[in-house]
Homo-oligomer: A and B are copies of this chain.
Amino acid sequence: MDEENKEISETFLELAKNELKIESIDKEVEQYKIRKMESVYNERDTLIEKIPSFWKIVLSQHLDFANYIRASDFKYIDAIDKITVKYASDIEKIGSFSITFHFNEIKDDFPAQIISKNFKLMKNVPDQKKSGQDNEEENTEETKFDEIELEEKLTSEISDVQWPKEYNSINPDLIKDKKSPEGKKSYRQGMKSFFGWFRWTGLKPGKEFPHGDSLATLLSEDLYPYCVKYYTEAQRDFADEDSYSDDTSEEGIDLSEEEQDNEEPAKKKIHTS
């Protein structure tokens, strides 16, 4: 039995090494992709600029994006003229990226501005509490796995965005009394607005824009890469709505087909990613 245990123990060690190889290949693949895509994405950025309201249409089409945005923020989302994402391609920086927003002016309320927000993937050192709970009787194989399975998390720095005048009452920089119940409430409202997201760092969970990392990932892994698909889908939906208004009086609406249409985005993502 001891011999058998020793062999299994060695197998786990080999398996841990194998996992490291897989992680390393994952990064090489990501680097290969980023480098191949760069010029094509640049070309696309230039083409998209010529299409009126491209990003307004894409961002209002995307169901999941709307979950991160308060209704009152959409006025400023609609002012986004251009979005670009740059992905770091150095092997040790894979997973880091930068999102740049070009905002149009809204007269007497909001200045035109170009704001970048940088995101970094950091190896997460297990926190004190967790490592304190470690069971010393744990068998060695598991410990080996744990060592290589440090979780990674996204972090960012505060980006200096100019807030709309309309948001003066919830702009964290303008709230003088942050300790009164009223002040706290306004502060929280501001931090939960789209402009609050530009202050998200990932270092103060519970005190920042909620799920700021997920919104960043949504932009870098879904909205930007598949923006043309979302734009096309939106155009098709508009066309469908037009034809419905002509035809429904005679035939009624075929609900089953509408359902099929709704399923499309998820399926496409699987095949193209």
CB within 8 Å of B: which residues of A? 7-8, 11-12, 14-15, 18-19, 21-23, 25-26, 28-29, 32-33, 36-37, 40, 43-44, 47-48, 50-52, 95, 121, 133, 135, 138, 142, 145, 149, 151-152, 217, 221, 228-229, 232, 235-236, 239, 243, 264, 267-268, 270-273
Instruction: Assess whether B11 is in contact with A121, with CB atoms less than 8 Å apart.
Output: no
With both beta carbons as reference points, the residue of chain B lying nearest to A18 in the complex is identified as B44
From residue A202, how far is it (CB to closest CB) to chain B in Å?
A: 13
Q: Is the beta-carbon distance between B33 and A25 smaller than 8 angstroms?
A: yes
CB pair A25–B14 under 8 Å, yes or no, is no
| Chain B nearest Cβ from A153, distance in angstroms | 8
State whether B26 touches A270 (Cβ < 8 A): no
* Extra inter-chain contacts (19) besides given A8-B50, A151-B267, CB under 8 Å: A8-B51, A11-B50, A15-B44, A15-B47, A15-B48, A15-B228, A18-B40, A18-B44, A18-B47, A19-B228, A22-B37, A22-B44, A26-B272, A29-B32, A121-B271, A142-B235, A145-B232, A149-B232, A273-B273
